[in-house]
Structure 1
Amino acid sequence: MNAFADALAWIFSPDRLTGSLPLPLAIGQHLAFTFGSVAVAALIAIPLGWLIGHTGRGREIAVALSGAARALPSLGLVVLLVLLMGVVHKTEAAVVAFVLLAIPSILAGAYAGFEAIDRTVIDAGRAVGMTDWQILWRIEVPLGLPLLIGGLRSAALQVVATVTVAAYVGLGGLGFFIIQGIQVRSFPQILGSSLLVVALALLLDGAFALLQRLVVPRGVAGRVARESRTASRAVPAAP
């Protein structure tokens, strides 16, 4: 418990508001890298995932590329891109690395959301004369949103943890305190900054979990609730 008390004391110390990198600024940098990278990845992966889910083509290629991207070592990728793009463009290099790491989860959530839709619903839309464009925006996108948000949730959690390696190339964030703590052998600083990364991850996870529940269409949510009640009544009581 003393270790956690020392870590909390380090976090709430007035010294964290001064110095070359105040703690609030480091948290802001960390969140900026996270949200910026996830946003760029979403702009790339969501249209591609919707195209794959809507047409049913290219899924095997997407799965293969996503699996390969998930296997990339984050620190090695950041360092490699910094070397290739130059130190002057190290911020862009780090963002590219984080975007590459975020794309697989978002891509999978985008096309899996479409694939999970009951095909009879789409057939019913075509039966009433809806065009492919109307089916996409009025049926597939709303019903696929929960799984898409789940993909964004996974991507955000992965990126917020990986952004700590940006400090290895001098880009700040909460990873700065972890690296500095290792160098000066300050365990409270290492643990304190690690706890802040965990806290950010938990806050993001909770926010995306709430959003995932909110985007479930009202009719689908009501049907799931009715099915759950029916299933619970069907279970025989224990003797």
Structure 2
Amino acid sequence: MNHIAAAMTWLTASSHWTGSGSIGVRIGEHLWYTVLALAVAAIIAVPAGLAIGHTGRGRTIAVACSGALRALPSLGLLTLLAISTTAGIENPIWPSTIVLAILAIPPLLAGSYSGVEAVDDEVTDGARACGMTEMQILGRVELSLAAPLLLGGLRSAALQVVATATICSYLGMGGLGRFILDGLAVSDYPQMLSGAIVIIVLALAIDGLLSLASRILISPGVKHALALTQQ
């Protein structure tokens, strides 16, 4: 209990909210690493998932690749990428982004192809009967109906990346992991606990915002259609 009280004191100290290494700056760095990794992962995973779900081809390979990516140890892979190339040491943002993107790809990929696969065949057949091309069906029909599962995959990916982005600090980068790493170096347990608390609060806040965005972006008609398919 004393450690928690000390952490609260550390968090509320005005000196920790000003300067280049302040809590606000570290949160901004942490969010930047997260957004960058999610963007890279989405560019790779979402188009692939939509194509797999629409055509029905490559699902077995996608599942196998997702399982393999989930099994990779993030810290070990980060260390390997960092020390295997000169660029990894001089510019650690690249190995960090690669590792975090690899972590985000499986849930984004699963959400994409599962969402499209869940669309009723009668809906797509009706769109074809109306003269829509395959790309129009995917973009105008399937993508809208797949939005709930797609956003669910994004939520899962975002939480995993936010929690794991702390490892970026091992390469001398910023982010909230600095409080844990720097505190560990000098046995400053209140600082370490404070960093962990801020990471937890940030993850919960992001999850809440994405949940709210899902409620706003997904139309009632799509929610109703999804509920009917789940019955």
Q: Same fold (TM over 0.5)?
A: yes
Pick one of 116, 128, 143 that aligns with 1:141. Answer: 143
* Larger deviation, residues 208-217 vs 85-94: 208-217
Pick one of 99, 102, 125 that aligns with 2:101. Answer: 99
Q: Deviations over 1:21-69 (max 9, x none)?
A: 2221111110100011101111111111111111111111111011000
* Larger deviation, residues 191-200 vs 120-129: 120-129
Q: Which secondary structure state, in structure 1, belongs to the residue aligned with residue 92 of structure 2? A: helix
Cα distance, 1:171–1:227 mapped onto 2, change above 3 Å: closer
Instruction: Give unmatched runs, 5+ long, in structure 1.
Output: 232-239
Instruction: Give unmatched runs, 5+ long, in structure 2.
Output: none
When the two chains are superposed, the root-mean-square deviation of aligned CA atoms in Å is: 2.0
* Larger deviation, residues 8-17 vs 23-32: 8-17
Contact 1:85 1:93 in 2 (8 A): no
Aligned to 1:27: 27
Task: Kindly provide the amino acid, as one letter, of the partner of residue 214 in structure 1.
Answer: I
Query: Where has structure 1 moved over 4 Å in runs of 4 or more?
Result: 222-228
Distance across 1 between alignment mates of 2:115 and 2:16: 43
Aligned length: 229
Pick one of 126, 129, 134 that aligns with 2:128. Answer: 126
Aligned residue runs from structure 1 range 158-197, under 5 A: 158-197=160-199
Aligned residue runs from structure 1 range 1-239, under 5 A: 1-18=1-18, 21-86=21-86, 87-222=89-224
- Structure number with bigger Rg: 1
Identity of aligned residues (%): 48
Q: Deviations over 1:92-120 (max 9, x none)?
A: 11111111111111111111110111111
1:225 Cα offset (Å): 7.6
Task: Kindly provide the amino acid, as one letter, of the partner of residue 35 in structure 1.
Answer: V
Distance across 1 between alignment mates of 2:41 and 2:140: 24
Task: Kindly provide the amino acid, as one letter, of the partner of residue 13 in structure 2.
Answer: S
